[in-house]
Amino acid sequence: MNTSLNLDAMTVDELWQLHEEIGRVLSVRLTSEKRELEKRLAQLRGEKGASRSGAETDAARERRKYPRVVAKYQNPNEPMETWSGRGKVPRWLAAELKSGRSIDEFVIADRT
């Protein structure tokens, strides 16, 4: 491997061929190194199936099911705009509160 290449003396075709060969060698080496690292990681995690990737394990995991949250506040101008009281205050409510109205004015009276 002590072969020194004089890149300045090489033609464009020779340089391109060298480029493609380096790309092939790198691809093979990176793939094998990645496979070895995944095996080591699986051993460290204590997983049984070392061939499973992280994306597969995430996809297999189910999302926790949360109960549906009932709306507590409603925009009187646009009845479809509601807010459960969780998370960030919606723009319509923030604007009304800023104009001096109380949040109690937007409570939905007959929630079922």
pLDDT at 56: 56
At 23 the pLDDT is: 94
Give dist(CA 74, CA 78) in Å, integer: 8
pLDDT recorded at residue 100 = 95
pLDDT given at position 50: 43
What residue ranges of the chain have pLDDT lower than 70? 1-3, 47-60, 111-112
pLDDT of residue 26: 95
Say which residue the tokens 């926790």 belong to: 64
- Full DSSP string of the chain: --PPP-GGGS-HHHHHHHHHHHHHHHHHHHHHHHHHHHHHHHHHHT-S-TT--HHHHHHHSPPPPPPPPPP-EE-SSSTT-EE-S-SSPPHHHHHHHHTT--GGGGB-SS--
| Both structure tokens of 54 | 């992280």
pTM across the whole model? 0.42
The predicted structure's pLDDT at residue 68: 87
Per-residue confidence (pLDDT) for residue 94, from 0 to 100:
96
- pLDDT at residue 16, as a whole number: 93
* Spatial CB neighbours of 75, under 8 Å, sequence gap ≥ 6: 81, 82, 92, 93, 96, 106
Q: What is the pLDDT of residue 40?
A: 92
55: left (phi over 0), alpha (psi -120 to 50) or beta: alpha
